[in-house]
Each structure stands twice: as C-alpha cells, then as structure tokens.
Amino acid sequence: MTVSTRATGARTGLQSAALATGVLFLLVGVLGFIPGITSDYETLGMAGHGSRALLFGVFQVSVLHNIVHLAFGAAGVLLARTHPQARSFLIYGGVIYLTLWLYGLLVGDETPANFVPANGPDNWLHLALGLAMIILAILLSPRIIPRTTRTTRTTPEPPHGEAADAT
C-alpha cells in the first residue's frame, strides 16, 4: 500500500483524524475565552494555579492554557496536510498529553509548579486525549506488508532488437 505525502488530493483517515483533533483544540481554545462557557471568567489569569476560571464549569483554564490549545489546534490543522505529518502530530501530541497527565499528577493542583494550570479533571482528560491520539495514529496507519522476493534471471537479456545466439 502506497501512502501519498502530497498535500493535495484525497485525505486519508489519519489526516482526517488529525484535522478533527486540531479543529477540536482550536474550538476549546476559543471557548476558554468566552464568559458563560467559562465560569468564573473574571478570575481568568494569565497563567498559574491562581486562575479559578473553569471551562464548562469543570476544567481549570488560564490565558496561557487557552493559547496552548489554540497553538496545538493550529499545529493539528497544518500537520493534517500530509499523512506522515498527521501521524507525527497524533503520536507526539499524544505523548505530550500523557506527559502533561503525569506532570499534573506529580505537581498537584495548588503548587506554583502548576503553571498551565490543570486541575484533577484536566489531568484525567489529558490521559484520555493522549491515549486516544496515539491509538488513532496506530489504528489509522497503513499496514506495511513485506514484499515477497521474486526470482531473478541469472543471464542478462539481449539488448532490444538483437537475437540471442542459438548454439
């Protein structure tokens, strides 16, 4: 199976998944700046655990957190242009989110090291996102089947137009 690296033409399932993931992150980044969708919007801080704004009333956000979502979303949309880039976005993005999950578990909600910020629900969402992105990359990547070896001729063919010697 051949995979195209061209930016034009039909999009693979993997590219569609990367594009959808990127659009989702862009949407979440924008929603994080909308009062009402983000509760306690007046407490939205630039960064750090002091921001008490909650996206959908659940996920702790800050200006930095929203900008990270927007940047991640833009990367997903741009990298969805080719199959290899889309795969890299989903795999490495998934690894980044798994790392954020572990970081959030280790630093706690109220410490200065929680600079993004992230609360408990954020941490578990990061786990789900990381796993989902990696699983999508694996499931939607083509299976590479090794080619079987073909027998080769041991004697070269005569050049075109010449007859072989009959001895």
Quick one: how far is CA 125 from the chain centroid? 15
Task: Please state the length of the chain.
Answer: 167
What number of CA atoms fall less than 13 Å from residue 161's CA on the CB side? 0
Question: Per residue in 48-91, pLDDT tens?
Answer: 777 889 999 999 999 999 999 999 999 999 999 999 999 999 99
pTM for the full predicted model: 0.77
Question: Per residue in 3-54, pLDDT tens?
Answer: 555 555 688 999 999 999 999 999 999 999 999 999 999 999 888 777 889 9
- The pLDDT > 70 percentage for the chain reads 80
38: burial class by Cβ within 10 Å (0-12, 13-18, 19+)? buried
Reported as a pLDDT band with limits 50, 70 and 90, residue 142 is: confident
DSSP structure string for 103-125: HHHHH-SSSTT--S---HHHHHH
